[in-house]
Structure 1
Amino acid sequence: MKIKAQVSMVMNLDKCIGCHTCSITCKNVWTNREGAEYMYFNNVETKPGVGYPKRWEDQKKWKGGWKLDKSGNLGLATGSKATRLAKLFFHPEQPELDDYYEPWTYDYETLIHAKRRNHQPIARPRSLITGERMEIQWGPNWEDDLASGESARRDVNLEAIGQKISLEFHDLFMKYLPRICNHCLNPACVAACPSGAIYKRDEDGVVLVSQDGCRGWRHCVPACPYKKVYFNWKTNKAEKCVFCFPRLEGGLPTVCADTCVGRMRYMGVLLYDMDKVLDAAQTKKAGEIYHRVLDLLADPSDPAVVGAAKKEGITDAWIRAAQDSPVYRLIKEWKLALPLHPEYRTLPMVWYVPPLSPIARRVEADVYLPDAEEMRIPVAYLAQLFTAGNTAEMALVLQRLLEMRCVMRAEMTGEELPAHLALPAEAYKKMYRLLGIAKYKERFNIPAGLQGVSQEKLREMQGGGNYTCPMGGC
């Protein structure tokens, strides 16, 4: 047993209102410089839809993540070492700028300095890359709040279930999906980097790009199945979400989590068994990967796990944080949160509580607790996103969320509880508090400082408290 610590995040999709506050604050902090105009380390997508970049989930085209060969061994979907070497100077699966969007600004000088005329002057869009006039055809939130039409029908997840879902007005469904780098346990971007510039921090599991080591080969971009590694066209370096690690070292959550209007993000520490990571990633049936990931997440209250963690140098503060981790309760204890596209085999560490949509049809008077199948968002669609198509597992999670609402309704009305509940009633009350009315310190439990590094040494590493961003221009 080799225990490691991982800072993780859970997002409750029932509470996301699609306001993009997380995207704006992240962009203002991390990608407000030349060459990073099109980068959104945090973006919010409307589903169903093609996403950002366009159809990022289509791994037949991008060949991102990992896959098993005929012998059951794990390998990068982008190809063997020899194949990747042949693509060193030209990678056919590389996303183009049109797959994101060409960033623009408006010709405000025309408005400011226009002389008197008969017609109102117009500030036309100009490319931030070429400076030339352009026609706006796409953007990072182009399909906001659109759940019908050609864009929605091109959703890869709908295609996977045969598009048997009606997108007529009276049957429409939609939800918001915030996305950041998943800081995976088995990151494909790390394995694909020819120069070894991308690495996973041992102390907290954050995946970072060394700007000194990056040579701009861009193999990390197609290798990431979530397309959360970007190429800076000005510096010729790769950049990605850094999980706001300077804030984590101070015991603070990421900017996106701290500024979230819906308070739908939770952050904490997970302990996991490093020895089980490869076996989980090599699980033959994609629908069972989720369970294998749960198996490798260790119980922080188990004395054997605590002893193994201390042996690996994990401090008492981190162990205590893992024992009182909101993400552990949501992921492992209550089994409410699910990983995004576990079939990519990267073992993502950003998890999602699926949304409970309105019930599609009126429930009969004698039915106390509706089925998960009664929900407006089809279970099959959510299963494509979070359980690799395992509809039975998705239905269990949705049913558990329905049971929580049922218990709280009985608490308020005095009605009797249903005979069959997956968890004790007290667990549902704790679940409700965390998901519904939890305060700041309940949603975020992050130990300050690096493991094994004192606060004095940390300030010394950061130049006496004045932190210098390694990405430059932050």
Structure 2
Amino acid sequence: MDVRLRHAHQRPLQEHTPVARPYSLITGKPMNIEWSANWDDNLGGNSELLERDVILRKVQEDVKMEFERTYMFYVPRICEHCLNPSCAASCPSGAIYKREEDGIVLVDQDACRGWRQCITGCPYKKVYFNHRTGKAEKCTFCFPRIEVGIPTVCSETCVGRLRYIGLVLYDADKVLEAATEPDEKRLYQAQRECFLDPHDPVVIEEARRAGIAEDWIAGAQKSPVWRLIHDYEVALPLHPEYRTMPMVWYIPPLSPIVDEVTRSAGPATDVESHDVLFSAIDTLRIPSAYLAELFTAGDVTIVENVLKKLAAMRSYMRDINLGRDPKAEIPASVGMTEEAMYDMYRLLAIAKYDERYVIPSAHVEDAHRLEELATDCAVSEYGGGDSPFGADSGRGGPVPVAIQSRNEIAKRMSADRMGDPSDRSEGLTQ
């Protein structure tokens, strides 16, 4: 076997993806892939892993693990870039920090001493250890791209267009109070109370006084994340009971229920009507109690209200798409206006690129300092190989990596044919 395949990431770009047997970074010997950092997202998927699912233990009396009723869904858990990051609090060397400019949590590779307390301290288990470099690494929220207004790679490549990026203004003085809220079921609301309304004249004036640029204020006002959290109230934090105050929020899944309702109610019943869908929320294939343990520290009422809004939107838009008169009572039944429900549908279903990603660019006054931070990227060292952010990333090359990426994206978005490896710029194939 060509030993160079072990360093496939250092090889020039080719037409086919290189395949090689995996080697352990600890022993250097061949190994079989049996488990990985994100595979625990599949807990509850089968009987072997069922015992390890701490959430399912709390609701196991309501869940029958019969084969025909087995449920499963994926929760794409990246680093939450928390307001109160436990990884930073547990780092003995102070290598993990939260950037003041945008709230991204990073690992300073020069300061990291490989204590690995951050791995233990992160309740989401999103910090890992690179045995080759002896450093802790984690999601960097693709900050070289964010700095020039480009979305993260995971967001832009999401086939379902499910990820949104936007600004949320918050009151830093309320973080400690919210994180120490004694009632776990109030933690969700306590974190929401930390967020500031970007349309409030008082907030706008204080933001200007704090030195926040006008385009950042405008970005916060157009933020899709703010709208999903505040205006529509359908986005929820993952495990608020951890008290880290995560800044990656989720919309609970409205799992398939139509077939189940059809079997029980009969073919003559309009199973898509909002009355039927509301009454069927309790029969969802993914139990509401399970979702509540994920997103609201066990408060089922909040989760059910979100699911009812999604079901109402589905029923309301069905009438419009079928040419029937829309029913104002459907959005009213979940406390929304017709205009708000249509706007929520547009954002969730047919929003355009610049509506899903509202990312103001970094300002020139921050350019030098942010350029220096590029060398602190948690995945910028691969034993002498190229960085995954581009050939010039973090090495003082003539072309900043974010500009390099932006040019590639612009070319791809405007092309009228599928890409080819020969189309890539020379800087990315070295």
1:14 corresponds to which residue?
none
1:199 shift after superposition:
0.9
1:373 shift after superposition:
1.3
Contact kept, 8 Å, 2:25 with 2:131, in 1: the verdict is no
1:169 shift after superposition:
2.0
Superposed counterparts of 1:246-261, under 5 Å: 246-261=144-159
2:46 corresponds to which residue?
148
2:27 corresponds to which residue?
130
Superposed counterparts of 1:285-324, under 5 Å: 285-324=183-222
CA 1:248–1:141: 2 relative to 1, 3 Å: closer
For the residue of structure 1 that corresponds to 2:286, the secondary structure is coil
Contact kept, 8 Å, 2:237 with 2:295, in 1: the verdict is yes
Contact kept, 8 Å, 2:109 with 2:377, in 1: the verdict is yes
CA distance in 1, matches of 2:108, 2:34: 34
- CA RMSD across the alignment: 2.6
For the residue of structure 2 that corresponds to 1:238, the secondary structure is strand
1:265 shift after superposition:
0.3
For the residue of structure 1 that corresponds to 2:137, the secondary structure is strand
1:152 shift after superposition:
3.5
1:336 shift after superposition:
0.6
Is 1:381 the counterpart of 2:290 in the alignment? yes
Contact kept, 8 Å, 1:318 with 1:447, in 2: the verdict is yes
Could you list the runs of 5+ residues in structure 1 that have no partner in the other structure?
1-30, 34-104, 108-124
Identify the structure with the greater helix proportion. Answer: 2
Is 1:361 the counterpart of 2:251 in the alignment? no
Contact kept, 8 Å, 1:193 with 1:220, in 2: the verdict is yes
CA distance in 2, matches of 1:194, 1:126: 31
CA distance in 1, matches of 2:106, 2:87: 10
One-letter code of the match for 2:72? M
1:221 corresponds to which residue?
119
One-letter code of the match for 2:293? Q
CA 1:198–1:376: 2 relative to 1, 3 Å: same
1:32 shift after superposition:
6.1
CA distance in 1, matches of 2:64, 2:89: 40
CA distance in 1, matches of 2:244, 2:41: 28
1:88 corresponds to which residue?
none
Corresponding residue pairs, total? 350
Superposed counterparts of 1:231-250, under 5 Å: 231-250=129-148
CA distance in 2, matches of 1:296, 1:470: 29
Superposed counterparts of 1:184-195, under 5 Å: 184-195=82-93
Deviations 1:389-418 (A, max 9, x none): 111111111111111112212222325343
1:449 corresponds to which residue?
362
1:392 corresponds to which residue?
301
For the residue of structure 1 that corresponds to 2:60, the secondary structure is coil
CA 1:270–1:143: 2 relative to 1, 3 Å: closer
Is 1:337 the counterpart of 2:337 in the alignment? no
Superposed counterparts of 1:41-440, under 5 Å: 106-107=20-21, 126-139=23-36, 147-359=45-257, 360-362=260-262, 364=265, 365=269, 368-369=273-274, 370-371=277-278, 372-413=281-322, 414-415=324-325, 416=327, 417-418=329-330, 420-440=333-353
Contact kept, 8 Å, 1:147 with 1:167, in 2: the verdict is no
One-letter code of the match for 2:288? V
Deviations 1:87-122 (A, max 9, x none): xxxxxxxxxxxxxxxxxx855xxxxxxxxxxxxxxx
CA distance in 1, matches of 2:253, 2:45: 16
TM-score between both structures, scaled by the size of structure 1: 0.69
CA distance in 1, matches of 2:376, 2:85: 23
CA distance in 1, matches of 2:110, 2:375: 14
CA distance in 1, matches of 2:311, 2:48: 33
1:119 corresponds to which residue?
none
Farther off after superposition, 250-259 or 213-222: 213-222
1:284 shift after superposition:
1.0
CA 1:298–1:435: 2 relative to 1, 3 Å: same
CA distance in 2, matches of 1:309, 1:192: 31
CA distance in 1, matches of 2:334, 2:31: 58
Could you list the runs of 5+ residues in structure 2 that have no partner in the other structure?
1-7, 11-18, 382-386, 388-430
One-letter code of the match for 2:57? E
Farther off after superposition, 347-356 or 401-410: 401-410
TM-score between both structures, scaled by the size of structure 2: 0.75
Higher relative contact order (CA 8 A, sep 6+): 1
